[in-house]
Amino acid sequence: MIIILSLLIDRWWGEPPARIHPVVWMGHYLKRAGRDLADHGPRAAFLLGTTLWMAGAAVVAAVYGYADVAIGKLPVWLDIIVTALLLKPLLALRMLLGEVQAVEDSLGRGIECGRARLRLIVSRDTSELDENQIRESALESLAENLSDSVVAPLFWFALFGLPGAAVYRFANTADAMWGYRGRWEWAGKFAARADDLLNLIPARMTAAGLLLVGPHRMALLRRLPEEAARTPSPNSGWPMSALALSLNVRLRKPRVYVLNERGTAPAAADVSTALRRAEFTAWIIAGLLAIGMQLVPRVGYG
């Protein structure tokens, strides 16, 4: 019930203002804590990065753990509403769908508009991307963030309540801010590995969901592991490959990987289909997790 209500709140109202958004607060902490973090030597950077990550995660777990206990003392109907309201900022389905649609809408106004809008949701250089590559990047972002921003926080909520979802969101934010190679290799190593571990199951759940809501399910499921292994990430390749196979489109990152190489270049119609399937996948998985919480109430909260 809580999971479904939180998705409905997300659909009706979207994101809360930045000044009261807990993920924004997490980002502020990580920005401040990581200000000089990468300037240390490898050993010191790793130890400091690990310590600061664990300190931040402990605070997040304590705050949401206290909230969980306090809310549990309320009447059941109020417990459900308040918990759903606190869970909502830890997921972002409406924003994800809207941002990917905005890239497609901007692309309709010209290649430069499409590049500029894509730059808001991906970290790669978009200045030389053509129309096909813009759509490919947007679809990759849709698939990866469907797992990171929707399925994973709901999965960890189903297991460990609000503290589980909040610590996951902290870990995912830390990976996005610290988990880079090069200068951040050692400072962000713990953050990157923690995020990899926490996304291990949700990424595969998302991939299975994306394939099961499309055609040729069983044949594509058999191809999925081989395609997912083409990316350097242990997790993001799964939902991205699933979406590529489901749409029969090619998704690629130049000089890094090509998913479903024999697929066609994505068109505007493929983006529309992908958005529908992503939303349907989110609701299906949310429903299954909600049912699971009812069947095993001692694991979930609420």
Residue 14 lies in domain: 2-295
**Is residue 77 a part of any domain in this protein?**
yes
In DSSP terms, which residues pair with 249 in a beta bridge? 264
Q: Cα–Cα distance between 72 and 35 in angstroms, integer?
A: 38
Q: Cα–Cα distance between 296 and 114 in angstroms, integer?
A: 46
CA distances from 217 to 21, 208, 244 (A): 38, 9, 13
**Is residue 75 a part of any domain in this protein?**
yes
Written as six digits, the tokens of 83 are 């918990």
Domain count, the chain: 1
Instruction: Kindly report the pTM of this predicted structure.
Output: 0.94
**Is residue 302 a part of any domain in this protein?**
no
Q: Cα–Cα distance between 217 and 200 in angstroms, integer?
A: 21
**Is residue 164 a part of any domain in this protein?**
yes
Cα 137 to chain center, whole Å? Answer: 15
Q: Cα–Cα distance between 30 and 27 in angstroms, integer?
A: 5
**Is residue 9 a part of any domain in this protein?**
yes
**Is residue 286 a part of any domain in this protein?**
yes
Q: What is the pLDDT of residue 297?
A: 60
pLDDT tens by residue, the chain, 302 residues: 899 999 999 999 999 999 999 999 999 999 999 999 999 999 999 999 999 999 999 999 999 999 999 999 999 999 999 999 999 999 999 999 999 999 999 999 999 999 999 999 998 889 899 999 999 999 999 999 999 999 999 999 999 999 999 999 999 999 999 998 889 999 999 999 999 999 999 999 999 999 999 998 899 999 999 999 999 999 999 999 999 999 999 999 988 999 999 999 999 999 999 999 999 999 999 999 999 998 876 444 44
**Burial group, residue 35, by CB count within 10 angstroms (0-12, 13-18, 19+):** exposed
CA-nearest of 266, 269, 281, 290 to 213 is: 281
Q: What is the pLDDT of residue 301?
A: 45
Amino acid type, 123: S
**Is residue 186 a part of any domain in this protein?**
yes
Q: What is the pLDDT of residue 292?
A: 92
**Is residue 300 a part of any domain in this protein?**
no
Q: Cα–Cα distance between 2 and 268 in angstroms, integer?
A: 35
DSSP secondary structure string, 81-144? HHHHHHHGGG--HHHHHHHHHHHHHHHTT-HHHHHHHHTTT--S--TT--HHHHHHHHHHHHHH
